[in-house]
Chain A
Amino acid sequence: MKYAKFMRHNFRVEGSGFTLRPVADADAEFIELLRSNPSLNSFIHRSPPGHSQQLAWLTAYYTRPDDYYFVVEDMTGSERHGLVSLYNLDTSREKAEWGRWIIAPGSLAAIESVLLVFRFAFEILSLRSVYSRTLAENRSVLSFHDSVGIPRIRDMPGEFIFGDRKRDAVLHELTLGGWLSIEHRLELIAKKTATRLSGA
């Protein structure tokens, strides 16, 4: 399907061990829990505090046509493992940003969640490129992008404002051609992980 702007999307992207499904109001508490976890939130913008504020944020999100927010969950839908988004969709340039990526401690969903969000961008929305802006001090995620094979484009001095402080970011961008060259490796790892999780 060629990209289109949807409000409150209804896309599901299924993988080998994990699935992306649309975020819903019932996930507000889960979002708050993950985003307020001190071991996970050092490098992300603070979430609105409190359940009602989280619901208000989601209500505003549902009206945005260029924003696709997903819950990462297991194949049965019984356990939520994390969150990931594709947003800032630019239809004229056929590109979007991915982020709001946060995976529960101890989960093995990280790699497949990235595989699935790229698959959504390139194969479902038919985009030409996907980029991310990562805080420069978030060295583990920067390394992850590098390990996956996503080209590092440039440093972005003072790109984010956290509180009253400017913080530097690093831009990574994956084109459709780049995606085709990394997809197979990510899929192999995701399948192997899924096999282990299923106990087969």
Chain B
Amino acid sequence: MKKTVVELAICSVVQNILQIEVSLETSRELNPEWDSLVHVEIIFGVEEALEVEFPRESLTGLGSVQEIVDEVCKIYAS
């Protein structure tokens, strides 16, 4: 899957859950609405939409849309 498609798909999932305009720069640090509950919903939502499974150590560590995109691309490449 092309990276741009991955980016679009992930932005769409995050946007649906966060209900705000989302870009690759959207992050937990700058968006308090990206809280612990929303984070888990985003991670599980991306996993379901893109049919991937993040490694356990990544589940809490992915703090921005860009980091999620990078992690998904890493999984696809492996």
Contacts and interface: CB of A to CB of B under 8 A. Distances in A.
Given A106-B60, A196-B59, A197-B56, A143 B33 contact: yes
Interface residues of A, number: 22
Interface stretch (A63-71, A134-142, A156-164, A170-178): A134-142
A143 B56 contact: no
Given A106-B61, A189-B41, A111 B56 contact: no
Interface residues of B, number: 14
A144 B56 contact: no
Nearest to B59: A108
A110 B33 CA distance: 15
A107 interface: yes
B36 interface: yes
12 contacts: A111-B37, A111-B40, A139-B32, A140-B36, A143-B34, A144-B35, A144-B36, A144-B37, A147-B33, A147-B35, A189-B44, A196-B56
